[in-house]
Amino acid sequence: MKRIRNALVSFAIHRSWTTILFILLAVIITGSFFPQVNIDTDPEHMLPENEKSRVFHNQAKKTFSLSEIVVVGVVNSKNPNGIFNPQTLQRIHTLASFAKNLNWEDPDKPGRRQGVIEVDMVAPSMVEHISQAGPGTISFDWLMPKAPQNQEEALAVREKIMANPMLAGRMASEDGKSLCLYLPLTDKHLSYRVYKALNEKIEAMTGDDQFHITGLPVAQDAIGVEMFTEMMVASPLAMCTIFFLLFYFFRKLSLTILPMIIATFSVIIAMGLMIGMDFDVHIMSSMIPVFLMSIAVVDSIHILSEFFDAYTPSKGREETVREVLGTLFMPMLYTSLTSAAGFFSLALTPIPPVQIFGVFVGFGIMVAWFLTIVFVPAYVMVLPKKAFTNFGFEAHTEHKNSIMDALLSATGRTAYRQAKPIIAGLLLLLTISIWGISQIQINDNPIKWFAMDHPIRKADTDLNTHFNGTHPAYLILDSIKTDTRSAKFRQDVSRRFITFAQQISSHAPNAPQLANKLLSELRKESSAGTLDQSFLDSAIAITDRIAEKASDADYYVYDELKSFFSLEQERLKPFKRPDVLQYLAKLQNTLESNGLVGKAYSAADVVSKINQEMLDGSPANYRVPDKLQSVGECYMQFQQGHRPHDLWHMVTPDFGHACVVVQLSSGDNKVMEAVERFVDDYFKTTPPPVPISHKWAGLTYINVAWQNQMVQGMLRSFIGSFGIVLFMTVFLFRSLKWGLLCMVPLTMTIAFIYGFIGIIGKDYDMPVAVLGVLTLGMSVDFAIHFVERCRSIHPHTGSWKKTVPQMFDAPARAISRNIMVIAIGFLPLLTSSLVPYKTTSLLLSSIMLLSGVLTLVGMPAIITLAEKHFFSGKQAIKTAQQ
Amino acid sequence: MSTTTMPLIKGEEENMNIKSFLLGLLAFIITLIAAVVIASTLLLIEISYASETSTELNGNEIVKRANHASLYQGTTCKGKVALKIVDSQGRIRNRSLNIIRKNQDDSDGEQLYLTYFKSPADVRKMVFLVHKTTKQGEDDSRWLYMPSLDLVKRIAAGDKRTSFAGSDFLYEDISGRNLCEDTHEFIGTEDGEYLVKNTPIDSSSVEFSHYVAHIDPKTFLPMLVEYYKNGDQLYRIMEVVEIKDINGGNGQTYPTVINSLVRNLETGSTTTMTYSDVVYDIPLKEELFGERYLRRPPREVMR
C-alpha cells in the first residue's frame, strides 16, 4: 500500500502538469455527455420493469384503457352559487371545447392522434345526462350542450350533475364551489404541451374564478423542471456557500478553491459517466451533486486543514505534501471506502433509481478520493511560489486563542472529566430515540414533494377542500372461471333446465317433453365423446340443429328452451350478475362511509343509474336490480347512449373483470395502505357471491408498492453496509474494540435522527430513508479520523490524559471545520421548492452536527471510561499506517 | 310457411335469378350503347358547357337517390342483423337482432322500424321501435321495451347520434339522417364514384364538421362515408363491404348492403354489420309497429 501511495504521490509531484492534464481530459470527456441528459420523473420507474405490481398495473391500464389524466380544477368561492353561474359555466364550456382539440397528428403513427383523448374527456358539455323527460319518457342528452344563458339555467346544470352519483363529487364538488375537467392523455409525455396550451388559454380569461391545472402527469413534469432548477441553481449556490466558509478558514483563494475543484470534478465525472451510460436522471440521482459535493469537500478539507497546519516555509510544499499524505493516505482511503460501501449497499434495494444513485455516488466518492490523492499534490506543486507566502498555521498564530480553539479544548476537557454523566446522558437520549423510532410513520406523497406555495401543491390543497377525494386508485377485480365441463355443473344446469321447461309449460305444453328430448340428445353426444365444447355451447348447438328442422310451433318452444342455455352463459359472467354488482355497490358504500375514500364508482353505478331512470327517476331506485336480465338491459341501454365506451373502463367486454375507481382523500401512501387493508378485510369477512380476486393498480398504489420495497430494501442495505463498515474499521485498526468504537457515533446519530423524526411526526419518506446511508458514510469518516489520530498520538504521549489536549488541537479542528462547512453549506437548499431537497438540507446539517458532536464528545468519554481496554499491550503502539 | 314448400321457392328463385341476370345483361348493353352515344355527342359540344350540366345534375339529386337506395327500397323489408364489435384490443362482442321496416308513403318520407333483440341472451326480447319522420322541425318517435321489467319507455328526442346497440353504428346510420339537415355539394368523382360533401346547417348539433360520401353511380349506394372533425380531421369511416341483389315483390331487384362496417378512429373500435335473410315487400301490418306489439312481438319478427 505504501508503495502505491508513494508512486502516486511522486508521479503527481514530479509530473504535476501531466497529472492535471489527464484529469482535465477525463472531466472534459465525461462532461461532454451532459447535453444528452434525460430527466425521468415517472414514479412507476421506482419499480423494476418486471416487478409484480408494476406489471399488473400496466396490464390493468391496458385492459381497462386507463390513461394518465390532466385535471383542470375551477374554483369560485366568491359567487354565492359557486361555479354554477352563467359566466363561469361559459368559461368552463369554452375551456372544454378548447381542450378537446388539444391533440395532434402522431408523427410515429400516421392517421392516429396524440394528446387529449376527446372521447374520454369528462366535462359538463361532454358527458351524458340520462333523465326523465316527462312521464314514461327517458332522455339521453349531453349534460350541458350549450353554456347556460341565465342563473336559472346555470342552477339546472348543477342539479343535473348532482343527480348523477358518478359525477357528483367527481366532476363537481358537492358544495358547488368547484368543478374538475378530466383530460385523459394518449401519453403522459404530452402533458407539458397540453399544460402550456391550457395555461395560455386560462390566462386570457377574465372573471373571479381560480383555475388549477394538476394531475399526476403535470406534477411529474413540474418535478422534472424543479429538479433541473435545483441542479442548475441550488447546487451551485451550496457550492458558493461552502467556498466562502472555506475561504474564511484558510484565507487563501488559490487553496480554498481546491476542494471546490475536486468536488466539481468528482460530480462531473460521476454524473457524466452516469448520463453517458444512458441512465435517466431521476429525483434521486438529481441529488448526486449535493451528496457528492459534501463528501468530496470533506476529504479535501482534511488534507487542506492538515496541510495548512503542517506547512512551514522552511519545510517547503513538497515535503509538507508528502508528510500530510503520509499521515492521511490510509484514513482517507478507508473513510472513502466506508462511505462508498454505504452507498454501494444501496444497490441492494430493489428500486432502480436508488440503485443507480447509490452506485454512482459510491463511484464518485472513489473518484474524489483519487483526485484528492493525485490532484492535490499536483496542484500544490504548480502553484506559483508567492501563493504560499503568509500561509500556514504558523503564520496565523494570532488565531491560536480563537473562540473555536477555546471551545474545542473546553470540549476535550469536559469529555474527559465528565465522561460518566455524558455517557449516562447519551444513553438516556438513546432510549428516548428508540421509543421515537417506534413512532415512525412510513409515508410518502409525491404531491407533498412540492413546497406549500408551489402551484401544484396549492391546487391539491384547494381542490381537496372542496372534493372529498381527488387521488384515483383502481381496484381490479378478477373472477375465477367456473368449470363448465364438470359433471356437477352439467347436473346442476340440467336439473334447472327441467324446472324451467315445466314453468313455461303453461303457454307451451310440450316444453317438458321437448326439453327431455334435448337432454337425451345431449347425453348421447357426450357419451359418444363428440362433446368437445363446453356443455352450454353444445346444448345451444344441438337445440339450434333440432329447431331448424322443427315446425313453426315447435321452433318457438325450442327458441325458449335455447334461451335458457344462453342465459346460463350470461350468468357465468360475474359482473353481469345482480348479486355481484350489489356486492360491489355495498363495498363502495362502506368505503365511502369509512371516510378514507371520497368517491368510489364502478359498473354497479352504471347499472343503478340506468335502472333508476328506466323506472321513474326516483333516488330510491338508484340500485342494482335483482334480475340478471334487468342488469343486461341496463348495460345495453347505457351502451345505446353517446358514450358507450365509458363502460369498458369499468368492466371488460366479457364481464369477467371489473375496475372500481376509488378517489382517495389524500395521495398519502398511508391512506392508500389503509384502504388496501380495509378492502382486504372486507373481502375476508364478507366474501363475494362468486370467487373474485382483488388487486390494486394506479400510480397512487405504485407509490405504496415501491415504498414498501424501499423500507425493506433500505433496512437490508443499511444492515449490509453497517456490517461492511464495521468489518473495514476492524480490519483498518486490526482491532474489534476500536472498530466497534468507530460505529458508536454513527449508530447514535442515526438513532437520534430517526428518533427525532418519529417524535416530531415527520413522515419517513424517500429522502429520509436514503439519508440514513449517508449518515453512515459521513459519521464513520469522523470517527475513523479521530481514532486514527488517537492511536498515533497516544504512543508519543503515553497517556490518554495527555492525548486529549492534542486530539482537540489540529484533529478536532479539521473535524469541526468539516461540520461547519457541510452544516452551513447546504442550507441554501432550503430555498428549494421541492421538499425532498429541503429535508435533505436540514437533515444533512443535523447529521453533520450530531455525528461531529458525538465523535468529539461521545468517543473521548467512552475511551476515558474504558481507557485500559483501549490502550493496553502492544496494540496501542501499532497504527494503521504500518 | 311450412318446410315442404321450401324447395319449390328455391327453384323459383333460381329461375328468377337467370331472368334477372339476362335482364341485367340487356340493361348493361343498352347502357353501354347509350354511354357511347352520349360520349360522342359530348365530344361535339363544348366541354365546359357539358361539365356544368353534370354538376347541375348532381349535388342534392345524388344524395336524394342515395337516400332512397340505402333506406327506402321496397315497401317493407325484413332481415337478420349480426353485429360484431371488435375493440382496439381485439376483444369481440356480438349482438344479433331482427329488423323489420315499413315505408309509410312512396315519397321517401315517413317510415316505421322495429328492432327485436335476440342476443346476448340477457337482452333477448328487448324491442326498439321507431316512427321516423322527415318533416322539418319534427323528431322521430322512439320507444323501448324492457322485457325483464315489462316496461315500455318512450325515448325523448335529443339527437340521433347515439350508439346503436352499443356498436360503432349510430342510430342515425340505421334509420338515416334527415336530408334537410345538411347541404350537399358534389365535389367530383373518384374511382368512378360520385363524391358528395355534406355539411351540417347547424354545426353545433353534431360532432362532425362535414362528411364525404362516395356514391356508386349505378346503385346509388354510398360505398364509403368519411366523417371529419375540425375541418380536416378524419375520425370515423363507414364502408360497404358486400352488396347483394335481392328480389323484391314485383319483379324488381334491390341491390342491398349485406355487409358493412364502421371504424371509429378515436376509440379504435370497429363494428361489422351483416344482414342475412333479407326479404322485401312482404306484407307487414301497421299494427306490428304499435306500442301494443312491443310486449308480444309477432312471430314474423322473431324467427
Q: Cβ B124–A563 below 8 Å, yes or no?
A: yes
User: What pLDDT score does B92 carry?
Assistant: 95
Determine which of A240-254, A428-442, A521-535, B65-79 has the lowest per-residue pLDDT on average.
A521-535
* β-bridge mates for residue A663, sequence order: A472, A599
Please check whether residue B271 touches A, CB under 8 A.
no
User: What pLDDT score does A481 carry?
Assistant: 81
**ipTM of the complex in this document:** 0.82
pLDDT digits (tens, 9 = 90+) for A336-361: 888 888 888 888 888 888 889 989 99
Q: Cβ A567–B121 below 8 Å, yes or no?
A: yes
Rounded distance between C-alpha atoms, residue B32 and residue B282, angstroms: 34
* Residue A508, C-alpha cell as written in the block: 307451451
Using the CB atoms, write b or e for A275-301: b if 16+ within 10 Å.
beeebbbbbbbbbbbbbbbbbbbbbbb
**What is the nearest CA distance from B147 to chain A, expressed in angstroms?**
8
Nearest to A644 among B123, B156, B163 (CB): B163
Strands B151-155 and A137-142 turn out to be parallel
User: What pLDDT score does A880 carry?
Assistant: 41
CB atoms within 10 A of CB A466: 22
User: What pLDDT score does A393 carry?
Assistant: 62
User: What amino acid occupies position A121?
Assistant: M
* Residue A699, C-alpha cell as written in the block: 400510480
Which band of pLDDT confidence, cut at 50, 70 and 90, is reported for residue A820?
confident
Please check whether residue B5 touches A, CB under 8 A.
no
User: What amino acid occupies position B2?
Assistant: S
| Closest to A84 measured CA to CA, from A160, A182, A165 | A160
User: What pLDDT score does A93 carry?
Assistant: 96
User: What pLDDT score does B98 carry?
Assistant: 93
CB pairs under 8 A between A and B: 132
Residues 223-262 of B with CB under 8 A from A: 230, 233-234
User: What pLDDT score does A746 carry?
Assistant: 87
CB atoms within 10 A of CB A518: 23
Q: What is the DSSP string of A157-184?
A: HHHHHHT-TTTBTTTB-TTSSEEEEEEE
CB-based contacts of A26: which residues, under 8 Å, 6+ apart? A269
Q: Cβ A140–B162 below 8 Å, yes or no?
A: yes
Rounded to 10 degrees, the C-alpha dihedral B163/B168/B169/B170 comes to 30
| Closest to A795 measured CA to CA, from A871, A882, A733 | A871
CB-based contacts of A832: which residues, under 8 Å, 6+ apart? A226, A230, A234, A451, A838, A841
Determine which of A127-131, A296-300, A684-688 has the lowest per-residue pLDDT on average.
A296-300
Q: Do residues A630 and A614 make contact, with C-beta atoms less than 8 angstroms apart?
A: no
Mean pLDDT, rounded, for A258-273: 90
| Closest to A435 measured CA to CA, from A751, A33, A785, A9 | A751
User: What pLDDT score does B104 carry?
Assistant: 92
**What is the nearest CA distance from B265 to chain A, expressed in angstroms?**
8
User: What pLDDT score does A330 carry?
Assistant: 81
Determine which of A20-29, A146-155, A246-255, A495-504 has the lowest per-residue pLDDT on average.
A246-255
Using the 8-state DSSP alphabet, how is residue A590 labeled? H
3-state secondary structure of A795: helix
Nearest to A570 among B121, B164, B234 (CB): B121
Nearest to A138 among B93, B153, B266 (CB): B153
Mean pLDDT, rounded, for A285-300: 81
Contacts 24+ apart (CB under 8 A), A142-148: A142/A642, A143/A167, A144/A89, A144/A93, A145/B204, A146/A93, A146/B204, A147/A86, A147/A89, A147/A90, A147/A92, A147/A93, A147/A94, A148/A86, A148/A89, A148/A90
Please check whether residue B92 touches A, CB under 8 A.
yes
Mean pLDDT, rounded, for A476-499: 86
Mean pLDDT, rounded, for A530-548: 78
Residue B19, CA atoms < 13 Å, CB-side half-sphere:
10
User: What pLDDT score does B23 carry?
Assistant: 65
Rounded to 10 degrees, the C-alpha dihedral B215/B220/B225/B229 comes to 80
Q: Cβ A556–B303 below 8 Å, yes or no?
A: yes
Q: Which of B146, B294, B299 to mutate to test the interface with A (most CBs of A within 10 A)?
A: B146
| pLDDT tops 50 at residue A875 | no
User: What pLDDT score does B303 carry?
Assistant: 67
Strands A692-697 and A471-479 turn out to be antiparallel
Terminal CA-to-CA distance of chain A, rounded, Å? 10
User: What amino acid occupies position B249?
Assistant: G
pTM of the entire predicted model = 0.85
Mean pLDDT, rounded, for A518-528: 79
pLDDT digits (tens, 9 = 90+) for A445-457: 888 888 888 888 8
* β-bridge mates for residue A70, sequence order: A183
Q: Which of A571, A610, A645 to mutate to test the interface with B (most CBs of B within 10 A)?
A: A645
CB atoms within 10 A of CB B7: 9
Q: What is the DSSP string of A443-476?
A: ---GGGGB-TTSHHHHHHHHHHHHSS--EEEEEE
Distances in whole angstroms, Cα of residue A447 to Cα of each of A762, A769, B53: 15, 18, 68
User: What pLDDT score does B9 carry?
Assistant: 42
Distances in whole angstroms, Cα of residue A212 to Cα of each of A67, A189, A359: 20, 19, 39
Q: Cβ A633–B149 below 8 Å, yes or no?
A: yes
**What is the nearest CA distance from B183 to chain A, expressed in angstroms?**
23
What pLDDT tens digit does each residue of chain B (303 aa) get?
333 333 444 444 445 566 666 666 666 666 666 666 565 555 544 444 444 444 445 788 999 999 999 999 999 999 999 999 999 999 999 999 999 999 998 888 899 999 999 989 999 999 999 999 988 888 889 999 999 988 899 998 677 889 999 999 999 999 889 898 999 999 989 999 999 999 999 888 888 999 999 999 999 999 999 999 987 899 999 999 999 999 987 788 999 999 999 999 999 999 999 999 999 999 888 888 988 888 887 776 666
Rounded distance between C-alpha atoms, residue B184 and residue B168, angstroms: 24
Residue A722, CA atoms < 13 Å, CB-side half-sphere:
15
**What is the nearest CA distance from A642 to chain B, expressed in angstroms?**
5
| pLDDT tops 60 at residue A878 | no
Residues 160-219 of B with CB under 8 A from A: 161-166, 171, 204
Which band of pLDDT confidence, cut at 50, 70 and 90, is reported for residue A870?
confident
Residue A622, CA atoms < 13 Å, CB-side half-sphere:
15
Please check whether residue B59 touches A, CB under 8 A.
no
> Considering only CB atoms, which chain B residues are within 8 Å of A641?
162-163
> Considering only CB atoms, which chain A residues are within 8 Å of B142?
none
Q: Cβ B144–A652 below 8 Å, yes or no?
A: no
Most confident of A188-197, A280-289, A776-785: A188-197
Q: Do residues A255 and A376 make contact, with C-beta atoms less than 8 angstroms apart?
A: no
Q: Cβ A615–B88 below 8 Å, yes or no?
A: no
Q: Which residue has the higher pLDDT, A332 or B130?
A: B130
**What is the nearest CA distance from A682 to chain B, expressed in angstroms?**
30
> Considering only CB atoms, which chain B residues are within 8 Å of A644?
163, 166
